[in-house]
């Protein structure tokens, strides 16, 4: 067990990521000033930074706390936060979820208009892959091979197989009639969540493990953990949309029900959904235990299960 508490570890990760994001985000004259301002507005707005923390926790777990593990994984942590932020900017647009509040502040399109919000998201997505290709700037063939594997993993998870495909399905089935067989609704819901939320969470653990030099068995174990973590996160997110407040969430609750979205509370009720989240947590812990991995990964799962924001 690490002598550093999870709260201390997470705070340190967020500090490192914030500094690196500010350093690696292209600024004028490379970027037009207004575009840089819009990207920075969304990217440096705070938030849980769950995905970069997860990258660094996975690297720490397989790297046994070696300082090089974090240095090698930090670019992937920042790239994933850029991709996650771009997805939020686009999801908030009037053509999608039409949200006006994000992380306790007006959304990007409210402040900068739809066109610049879209372009700022495009910029963040593209610069994420520029960063992954460039950093860490080491010539070692082993590191280059890890970078290539990481780029492929993140690209697939962010694209049509993963997050983008999940968003399309979410929009496609918004307000759709329920299936005659409830199991069909559940399969549809699981597919949406596995793509829209779960894929990028799996990419985070995989990227951290890969960049820290994990074995194939360790990568498989953290992926099994991440599958359960991603589902747990989304189930709790669905519950918080029912029970949470704008002050807690930093965004307006009740949007899913108003839009007629398929959610876990809609299928199983709040308590039934919480029970399913607890079962996810149990399976995620078991996956780590079987592989002899610990560090701060178990604490992230526990936080996910009990979070209020």
How far, CA to CA in Å, does 185 sit from each of 8, 179, 190, 231, 266?
A: 41, 6, 9, 16, 10
Q: Are 214 and 145 in contact (CB under 8 A)?
A: no
Predicted TM-score of the model (pTM):
0.91
| Residue 1 falls inside a structural domain | no
pLDDT lower than 50: segments of the chain:
1
- Residue pointed to by tokens 């936060």: 81
CATH code, domain with 35 = 1.10.600.10
| Residue 88 falls inside a structural domain | yes
The size of the chain, in residues, is 309
Structural domain harbouring 263: 6-306
Instruction: Determine the pLDDT at residue 179.
Output: 65
| Residue 124 falls inside a structural domain | yes
- Residue pointed to by tokens 């970069």: 52
Smallest CA-to-CA distance from 238 within 176, 303, 307, 182 is with 307
Instruction: Quote the tokens at residue 132.
Output: 């992954």
pLDDT tens digit sequence for 144-185: 999 999 999 999 999 999 999 999 998 888 776 566 677 888
Instruction: Determine the pLDDT at residue 247.
Output: 62
| Residue 155 falls inside a structural domain | yes
Bridge partners, 281 (sequence order): none
| Residue 87 falls inside a structural domain | yes
Considering its fold, how many domains does the chain have in total?
1
Instruction: Determine the pLDDT at residue 1.
Output: 44
Q: Are 206 and 156 in contact (CB under 8 A)?
A: no
Instruction: Determine the pLDDT at residue 254.
Output: 65
| Residue 145 falls inside a structural domain | yes
Greatest Cα pair distance, the chain, in angstroms, is 57
Verify cis geometry, omega within 30 degrees of 0, for the bond prior to 161: no
């Amino acid at each position: 067990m690490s002598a550093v508490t999870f709260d201390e570890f997470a705070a340190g990760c967020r500090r490192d990521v914030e500094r690196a994001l500010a350093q690696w985000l292209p600024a004028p004259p490379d970027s037009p000033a207004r575009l840089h301002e819009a990207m920075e507005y969304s990217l440096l707005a705070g938030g849980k930074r769950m995905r970069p923390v997860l990258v660094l926790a996975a690297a720490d777990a397989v790297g046994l706390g070696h300082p090089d593990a974090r240095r090698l994984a930090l670019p992937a942590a920042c790239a994933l936060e850029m991709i996650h932020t771009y997805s939020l900017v686009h999801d908030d647009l009037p053509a999608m979820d039409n949200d006006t509040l994000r992380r306790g502040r007006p959304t990007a399109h409210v402040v900068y208009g739809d066109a610049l919000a879209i372009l700022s998201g495009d910029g963040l997505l593209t610069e994420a892959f520029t960063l992954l290709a460039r950093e860490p700037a080491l010539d070692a063939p082993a590191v280059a091979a890890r970078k290539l594997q990481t780029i492929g993993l993140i690209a697939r998870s962010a694209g049509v197989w993963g997050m983008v495909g999940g968003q399309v399905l979410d929009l496609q089935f918004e307000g759709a009639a329920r299936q005659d067989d409830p199991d069909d609704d559940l399969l549809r819901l699981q597919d949406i969540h596995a793509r829209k939320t779960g894929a990028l969470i799996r990419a985070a653990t995989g990227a951290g493990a890969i960049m820290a030099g994990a074995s194939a068995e360790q990568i498989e174990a953290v992926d099994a953990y991440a599958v359960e973590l991603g589902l747990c996160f989304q189930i709790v997110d669905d519950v918080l949309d029912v029970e949470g407040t704008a002050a807690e969430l930093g965004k307006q609750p009740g949007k899913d029900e108003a839009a007629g979205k398929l959610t876990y509370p809609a299928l199983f009720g709040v308590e039934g959904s919480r029970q399913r989240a607890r079962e996810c947590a149990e399976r995620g812990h078991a996956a780590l235990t079987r592989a002899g991995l610990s560090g701060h990964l178990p604490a992230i799962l526990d936080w996910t299960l009990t979070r209020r924001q």
